[in-house]
Amino acid sequence: MKMPVESKICGNDGVRLDSFVTEAFDSTYSRSFYKRLIDDGKIKVNGKVIIKAGTKLANGDVVEADIPAPAPDDSFIAQDIPLDIVYEDSDLLVINKPQGMVVHPAAGHSEGTLVNALLAHCKDDLSDINGVLRPGIVHRIDKDTSGLMLACKNNFTHLKLADMLSRHEIVREYRALVYGYVKEDRGMVDAPIGRSSNDRRKMAVNKDGKSAVTHFEVVERLGEITDMKLVLETGRTHQIRVHMAYINHPVVGDPVYASRRKNYGLAGQALHSQAITFVHPRTGETMHFETDLPDYYKKVIESFKA
């Protein structure tokens, strides 16, 4: 299976090619993976193959990456796992993912993922642009984040939705419980996010990272925690979790960015993808979907009102 060539535009002068492609393209892969792609002539800058990882880029340079599809995994199976499907047609699904479900297979999670469930539900009707290990997946939410996400049944829909995401044309609204008393009624966090230099498993605000913007509004102040509504302008890995920690109000129960804080009995972060709005790629109709807050979230709120 041939993967489409992806392109990204460099926004800064003097950035190393290997650093840029590692941050700009699929974060599933490591820096060494991208260095091998450069060595193999799979990376182009302004249409020209570049094989030196240390090549310095300039603002406006167009970088193309020919990323091979993941090799098939014979142990990768369809599983009849119940899905909370909010909407479905011949092009896409809107799914309400429960907290604790991994979106796609990875090390330690070869079964029980959303993709395993989608393979059983959709059979062969899933886009394959993201490769064998992530059929149908156009965007992700973290394992312990609950709520709405999109899945694609064909490549036409996948490419259209991916383009809308890159243009910030899909509105994604979250709810989060955060530590502390948030003073501002509403505001914005505009801080670039990249891989943490101290722990590669974490993301962090990083001046050399990707542009990241989160809008927030206080729903209710509950004393030592605050209920927030957040809208993503961009969609970086762990964006809300990193931005809230950056302004000293990390998400309640976050095992990565607030591991030493009281978790109120939560199994993971109190973060829920509550609403999504987008234009249907085929019909042009504006689609809006919204879910109720999950029980784990409501229980924490109720404990502060008891």
Provide the residue ranges of all domains of the chain, joining segments of one domain with +. 6-65, 85-90+97-164, 171-273+296-305
The tens digit of pLDDT for each residue in 227-268 reads: 999 999 998 999 999 999 999 999 999 999 998 899 999 999
* Catalytic-role residue among 18, 61, 142, 227: 142
Question: pTM of the prediction?
Answer: 0.76
Q: Are 162 and 152 in contact (CB under 8 A)?
A: no
The answer to whether the 85-90+97-164 and 171-273+296-305 domains have the same CATH topology is yes
pLDDT score at 210: 87
Q: How confident is the model at residue 1 (pLDDT cuts 50, 70, 90)?
A: very low
Q: Is 295 a catalytic residue?
A: no
What is the architecture of the domain spanning 171-273+296-305? 2-Layer Sandwich (3.30)
The tens digit of pLDDT for each residue in 2-43 reads: 455 778 899 889 999 988 988 888 765 667 778 888 988 899
The tens digit of pLDDT for each residue in 156-185 reads: 898 889 889 888 899 999 999 999 999 999
The tens digit of pLDDT for each residue in 102-139 reads: 987 776 667 889 989 998 998 878 876 655 556 778 88
Determine the angle formed by the axes of helices 17-24 and 31-39, rounding to 10 degrees. Answer: 120
Q: What top-level class would CATH report for the domain 6-65? A: alpha beta
Q: Which has more pLDDT, 116 or 200?
A: 116
What is the architecture of the domain spanning 85-90+97-164? 2-Layer Sandwich (3.30)
